[in-house]
Amino acid sequence: MKSSEQPGDSGALGIGALAGRFGLAPHVLRHWESVGLLDPARDAAGRRVYGAADVVRTAVILRAKEAGLSLDAIGTLLAAPGGAGDRREVLRRRAAALRADIARARARLELVECALGCAHPDMADCPDFRGVVAGALAGADGRCHHADGGARGTPPRGDAPWGSSTG
């Protein structure tokens, strides 16, 4: 029997069938087994046999990986040796890390949007852009006024290419 065929009439899956169902290579499931995330039954020939609970557990592992959890953290979630408290602590730490990632992404987006809204030929000459950059370097929330319709980033007018700036 190939590893992708279903063993017996029980509806159980071989390693190839389970891996294929989730778009994984079979070695991924073997690795997860080696680190204790999966514990499939074995048939009389010693081949892995995955049941409905293994299918659900595989889906949970994949979702946890999508959330950015490490295999160690996933193991803690699934095993929860200390009960729900351990599980919640792992999730609290991940939530805090995601919030920090989101804050950093928002700051990067603010910088890009400020540069997009700047009318200066060289954005390094824009006081709004410089303020956003300085704020980011200082760990502060530098605000760009381009999105607010503010005029600070508008190039000055005058006889000289940039005239005299007021802001």
What integer is the mean pLDDT of 38-43? 96
Burial category of 83 from C-beta neighbours within 10 Å (exposed 0-12, middle 13-18, buried 19 and up): exposed
Q: Is residue 92 part of a domain?
A: no
Q: Is residue 85 part of a domain?
A: no
Highest average pLDDT, of 5-19, 50-64, 70-84, 126-140, comes from 50-64
Residues 128 and 72 occupy one common structural domain: no
Residues 72 and 104 occupy one common structural domain: no
Prediction pTM value:
0.65
How many CA within 13 A on the CB side of residue 155? 15
Residues 61 and 129 occupy one common structural domain: no
Write out pLDDT tens, residues 104-137: 999 889 888 888 888 888 888 888 878 877 877 7
pLDDT at 97 over 80: yes
- E runs forming strands in the chain: 41-42, 48-49
Question: How many structural domains is the chain composed of?
Answer: 2
- Give me the domain span that covers residue 60: 1-79
CATH number of the structural domain spanning residue 39: 1.10.1660.10
